[in-house]
Amino acid sequence: MSLLKKYKLALIIVCLLLLGGFALTSYVYQNEEPMSEKSISYKGDVSGFIKASLNESSVVVLKARVTSVRVGGLQLDKIVSIQYNENENLNFKSVNVGDIIVVKGGYLGYDDLFEEYKLISCIILKDE
């Protein structure tokens, strides 16, 4: 009888561990909200963006001139560097130096080494 109680206790513990592991895995691998659906913290031009006091991971919409085209990103008005995801590659392929574009992305912060502001996960919006 004692052996049966030990197996029941062990079975309950294993079930609880499996349930906890499943819940933790579901939480870690949940889908992230797409950039197009995130709420905007700032909307405007680069000069106003620099003066605004924004937290990191804020979502911003900028209208600016492209000053440099890089692999995987662009530079706007010589001071804002943007990076985009691989699935946005086709939208950014047609962008050339001198174009004025409207982008929405997550503010990563100021890079002291390159002396530029960083935006990540950017998407191109229709001109607003």
| Strand partners of residue 126 | none
Alpha helix locations (H) across the chain? 2-28, 46-51, 89-93
Do 55 and 79 reside in the same domain of the chain? yes
Do 85 and 116 reside in the same domain of the chain? yes
Do 76 and 23 reside in the same domain of the chain? no
CA-CA distance, 127 to 90, in Å (whole number)?
17
pTM for this predicted structure: 0.71
pLDDT digits (tens, 9 = 90+) for 61-115: 999 999 999 888 899 999 999 998 777 767 788 888 999 999 999 999 999 998 9
Do 47 and 101 reside in the same domain of the chain? yes
Do 92 and 124 form a contact (C-beta atoms < 8 A)? yes
- pLDDT for residue 3 is more than 80: no
- pLDDT for residue 27 is more than 90: no
CA-CA distance, 18 to 15, in Å (whole number)?
5
Cβ neighbors of 98 (< 8 A, separation 6 or more) are 65, 66
pLDDT digits (tens, 9 = 90+) for 36-74: 788 888 999 998 998 888 888 889 999 999 999 988 889
Tokens of 55: 């937290």
Do 76 and 110 reside in the same domain of the chain? yes
Alpha helix locations (H) across 29-127? 46-51, 89-93
CA-CA distance, 100 to 97, in Å (whole number)?
9
Please state the domain count of the chain.
2
For the domain that residue 45 is a member of, what is the CATH number? 2.40.50.140
Parent domain of 18: 1-30
Nearest CA among 33, 118, 112, 51 for reference residue 103: 118
